Amino acid sequence: MKQAGKAAIVAMVLVACARCTAGEAQNTPQPYKLGMFQEGARTFVGMVVGDSLVVDLTRANVNAPATLHELIARWDQPTADRLGRLAGEAQRERPSFAFQLSAVKVLVPISDPDAILMAARNYAEHANEMAQAGRTAGTTSVIDEKVRSGIPGLWVRQQNDQRPNPYLFPKLKSSLVADGIPIVLPPGRTRIDYECELVAVIGKTAKRVSVDRALDYVFGYMAMTDVSDREDRLDERYGSDWLISKSYDTFGPSGPFIVPAQFVGDPQNLAVKYTLNGNVMQDSSTALMVHTVRDLISYASNISTLAPGDLIGTGTPGGVGEGRVPPVYLKVGDTSVCTIEKIGSLTNPVQSFRVPSTE
């Protein structure tokens, strides 16, 4: 074959490959995040593309409902495909129903979950630091004979599993606030602490699901700063008072957005970092959880039927304020930043309680 002929064939192959690659790129879903936003007096469910552009889904001809909670409840593969295509189009050419993120107000992604269940002491380092602070007996040592069988009817302990049993507590939805909203210190309470953690968002009804299948029920993930009152009741009546500890108004900064599970991948391989006034206080990984996201969802679903939009907090790593010497508690003027890899950062100022005006 003549040299010119060979060159022509090579050129044709290169063009074909380029077209094939371009086609694959267009068909590959553009990563995106989902959230709730406000423009003027109007709220809408939106899709964040490239961390800077917000696409108003209620105006994007994708049959989107008014809230993200509703969107998750009716989620299916065609919806995922439509949004994937829309994200790619929005990235290439900004549509008229898109805004700069800085031009809209970010709201709590899900303000009305049926359940918020949070894992207690689900990182060994955090459990140990709390024990050293006198808050608990050790919870990460080899299990004792009393729990060799797990929790009858709820948690089956596998042979040679030396972990403590999982522990979940409820948190009130009235504690949820968005990125940028102040954490308000309750009057008279002086030991308010921070806990940065990954939250799994349930995508479909889950009842007594197996550990192996548990991630099939996850829609996506977000971050939460699980703010904690370490003073509790002080009278120790009935043991720990989780209501006082966890559920004041503003004690659940959440979001800033929900990232669909397909764009997160392995939830046990994400960096977790918390800074207070720019100082790194927590720097860890979800790989260090005692009980995985799978474990927690399976366990929770054996207690209560989980619904789309329910939130499962996965615990916080070591480095909380109560575990430091001397302790470090939130104070007026602080800036709290909880960052989860692939999810984003929650930034919340800290302010004092103000008595509501009667005017």
How far lies 344's CA from each of 94, 224, 260, in Å?
23, 10, 13
The conformation of residue 296, written as its DSSP 8-state character, comes to H
- Give the Cα separation of 3 and 147 in Å (integer): 78
The conformation of residue 173, written as its DSSP 8-state character, comes to G
- Give the Cα separation of 33 and 259 in Å (integer): 5
CA nearest to 75, candidates 305, 263, 309:
309
Query: For residue 183, what are the β-bridge partners?
Result: 350
Query: For residue 189, what are the β-bridge partners?
Result: none
- Give the Cα separation of 124 and 138 in Å (integer): 10
Per-residue pLDDT at 18 exceeds 50 = no
pLDDT, tens digit (0-9, with 9 covering 90-100), for 110-120? 999 999 999 99
Poorest-pLDDT segment among 142-156, 217-231, 315-329: 142-156
CA nearest to 271, candidates 260, 283, 259, 263:
283
At a CB cut-off of 8 Å and minimum separation 6, what does 311 contact? 110, 113, 115, 116, 117, 199, 200, 201, 202, 224, 254
Provide, rounded to the nearest whole percent, the portion of the chain with pLDDT above 70: 87
How many residues would you count in the chain?
A: 359
Cβ atoms of 39 and 104 within 8 Å: the answer is yes
Poorest-pLDDT segment among 10-14, 45-49, 194-198, 305-309: 10-14
Which pLDDT value is given to residue 358?
57
Cβ atoms of 332 and 241 within 8 Å: the answer is no
Q: How wide is the angle at C-alpha 216 spanned by C-alphas 54 and 293, nearest 5°?
A: 85
Cβ atoms of 222 and 197 within 8 Å: the answer is no
- Considering only the C-alpha atoms of the chain, give the largest distance between any 2 of them, rounded to a whole number of Å: 94
At a CB cut-off of 8 Å and minimum separation 6, what does 307 contact? 73, 114, 115, 202, 205
Cα-Cα-Cα-Cα torsion 284, 287, 290, 293, nearest 10 degrees, comes to: 110
Tokens of 211: 């550990």
Chain-centroid distance, C-alpha 111: 13
Cβ atoms of 176 and 108 within 8 Å: the answer is yes
pLDDT, tens digit (0-9, with 9 covering 90-100), for 213-242? 999 999 999 999 999 999 978 787 888 899
Which pLDDT value is given to residue 23?
44
How far lies 108's CA from each of 105, 173, 266, in Å?
10, 11, 24
**Residue whose entry in the numeric block shows the structure tokens 């961390």:** 51
Which pLDDT value is given to residue 10?
42
Q: Which one-letter amino acid corresponds to residue 145?
A: E
196-202 vs 218-225, strand pairing mode: antiparallel
Provide, rounded to the nearest whole percent, the portion of the chain with pLDDT above 90: 74
Cβ atoms of 204 and 349 within 8 Å: the answer is no
Most confident of 22-36, 116-130, 190-204: 190-204
Per-residue pLDDT at 174 exceeds 90 = yes
- Give the Cα separation of 148 and 209 in Å (integer): 22
Per-residue pLDDT at 327 exceeds 90 = yes
Query: Is 0.75 surpassed by the pTM of this model?
Result: yes
